[in-house]
Amino acid sequence: MRLIIAGGGLAGLVAALRAVELGAQVNLLEKGGHLGGSFLYSSGYVWSYRDLEAYRRQAPAGDTVLQKLILNRLEEGLLWLEDRGAPVLSRETNNPLTFGFRLDPDRTVAALAKRIFVGGGRISLGTALDGLVQDVDGRVSGMQASAKAGRWTEASDAVVLASGGFAGDPELVRRYIIGGPGRMRLRAHPRSTGDGFRAALAAGALESAGLEEFYGRNLPAPPAEFSPERFVEVSQLYGRNAVAINSNGERYADESADWSETTLTRATALQPGLRAWYVLDAAGLQKRVRERTVGEMVATARRVGGIVLQEESLEEMADRLAERGVVRENFLRTMNEYNAAVVDGRSESLFPRRSAPAAPVRTPPFVAVEIAPTITHTIGGLAVDGGCRVLRRSDGRPLLGLYAAGVEVGGVSVGGYSSGLATALVFGRAAAASAVREDAAAATD
Ligand SMILES: Cc1cc2nc3c(=O)[nH]c(=O)nc-3n(C[C@H](O)[C@H](O)[C@H](O)COP(=O)(O)OP(=O)(O)OC[C@H]3O[C@@H](n4cnc5c(N)ncnc54)[C@H](O)[C@@H]3O)c2cc1C
């Protein structure tokens, strides 16, 4: 069978190698000049929650069928990758809620690409899918591609979309996620601009739940500048040790709602100007988050040109913040109410509530770091079944010949967050296997 795979991130690479191994003639298209997608900038942890109960708790509105698929197939996928030459840096995730491996991204990409090539697969760099071709019955029978050389149509028996969602398209991000004016910085490679998503919708595909959700991090706000290689290092992952306030001087989210601070980052994207401040004190700076102290993360924000204010009292901090547009009286009232509630053990009754950990902010020096939300990838995307077959909008049944993998698959972690690399690995393998199996079944019908 002839299989086209659009996108050379981890999802596309895995789908391509699996399909080559199952005997398909593969053409892997990659829009950019190199393979790897966001995997290259990532920490390389490919993980799942330990059991379905934990998965449901952490991503309560996600698709249970897809969550089970990840849970049940991740280990087998990791061993398959290791057997294909992916270097395993650790067999632990350092998170008691999860299991998985840490991989070396660069060497994993190189190992997969080599095997695809040796197995007879084609890899077309600088080539983008920009439309799907359907036969009279609506079955996907090829795609339109574009490259420097021009635009052409290529026939195939099936197409796997692995082009990474639409985080890189400011217009789609505004429409679905921000819901108004503003632009979120990307914390990912810039090429996932919704090409696969749009092409599938134009072919009659169904959207998943969670289109308004995203995974990302709060990073130092501009004028801070940093290269993609520093995305992990500049993360300001200590909202739970701070009070997050917007330019109205008000708290806007439960800073400790979840371990990955996804809820806090999403809420920051809805604040005026898509900016906010983390306010903390000397005690907060001493706290540890994973392998770093909060003070070290704040120092990184300062080093990359972020705005970091330091004062000896909350009144002086209020003056400094007011110079930057934060409403002074509201800020002082918010801090006083917060501190009083925490000291009295009433933080859960604050609005927004503050779950544990919650510590008072009262030991000088006080620090305020200006942060801005960034988007790593979308959570909503295409609706698929347990075989990664893209579903039709008209009747919820499979849109024949079309499959999705990785970020392109929507709805897995709605209401929370789960590993993007796991969706790339598990769904990449599942999409390739379904496409090859169904083509063989069609041939014997
Ligand atoms: C700093 C950082 C740290 C991270 N850490 C982790 C972590 O530790 N664990 C974890 O699970 N996840 C992590 N992630 C997220 C993870 O990297 C992604 O979820 C995952 O790499 C997505 O893989 P993908 O193949 O689905 O999409 P992508 O990596 O986005 O790949 C999509 C590919 O498709 C290409 N493309 C786009 N449009 C087209 C088109 N029209 N035609 C052809 N090709 C196209 C793109 O150029 C790209 O190469 C991290 C991400 C970042 C940025």
202 in Cβ contact with 392 (< 8 Å)? no
182 in Cβ contact with 193 (< 8 Å)? no
- Strand, coil or helix: what is 325? coil
- Separation of 38 CA from ligand 1 center, angstroms? 4
Cα–Cα dist 184/168, whole Å:
9
Which CATH code is given to the segment(s) 215-374?
A: 3.90.700.10
- Contact residues of ligand 1, CB 6 A cut-off: 6-12, 29-32, 37-39, 41-46, 128-129, 162-164, 187-188, 191-192, 195, 231-232, 376-377, 406-407, 419-422, 424
- Separation of 211 CA from ligand 1 center, angstroms? 17
Q: pLDDT tens string for the chain (445 positions)?
A: 999 999 999 999 999 999 999 999 999 999 999 999 999 999 999 999 999 999 999 999 999 999 999 999 999 999 999 999 999 999 999 999 999 999 999 999 999 999 999 999 999 999 999 999 999 999 999 999 999 999 999 999 999 999 999 999 999 999 999 998 889 999 999 999 999 999 999 999 999 999 999 999 999 999 999 999 999 999 999 999 999 999 999 999 999 999 999 999 999 999 999 999 999 999 999 999 988 999 999 999 999 999 999 999 999 999 999 999 999 999 999 999 999 999 999 999 999 999 999 999 999 999 999 999 999 999 999 999 999 999 999 999 999 999 999 999 999 999 999 999 999 999 999 999 999 999 888 877 6
Q: Domain ranges in the chain?
A: 2-212+379-444, 215-374
Count CB-CB contacts under 10 A for residue 314: 19
- Separation of 194 CA from ligand 1 center, angstroms? 13
Secondary element (H or E) of residue 331: helix 328-343
- Separation of 42 CA from ligand 1 center, angstroms? 9
Cα 103 to Cα 45, 70, 108, 163: the distances in Å are: 6, 17, 7, 21
- Comparing CA positions, the residue from 149, 146, 266, 251 lying closest to residue 216 is 266
Model pLDDT for residues 71-102, shown as the tens digit of each residue: 999 999 999 999 999 999 999 999 999 999 99
Burial of residue 120 (CB within 10 Å: 0-12, 13-18, 19+) is: exposed
Cα 13 to Cα 5, 19, 405, 407: the distances in Å are: 9, 10, 10, 13
Architecture (CATH level 2) of domain 2-212+379-444 = 3-Layer(bba) Sandwich (3.50)
Cα–Cα dist 135/302, whole Å:
57
**Ordered DSSP codes for 113-156:** HHHHHHTT-EEEET-EEEEEEE-TTS-EEEEEEEETTEEEEEE-
What one-letter code names the amino acid at 219?
A: L
**Structure pTM?**
0.96
Model pLDDT for residues 264-301, shown as the tens digit of each residue: 999 999 999 999 999 999 999 999 998 899 999 999 99
Percent over 90 (pLDDT), the chain: 96
- Report which DSSP code applies to 175: I
Secondary element (H or E) of residue 248: none
Backbone phi and psi for residue 88, each to the nearest 5 degrees, phi listed first: -90, 120
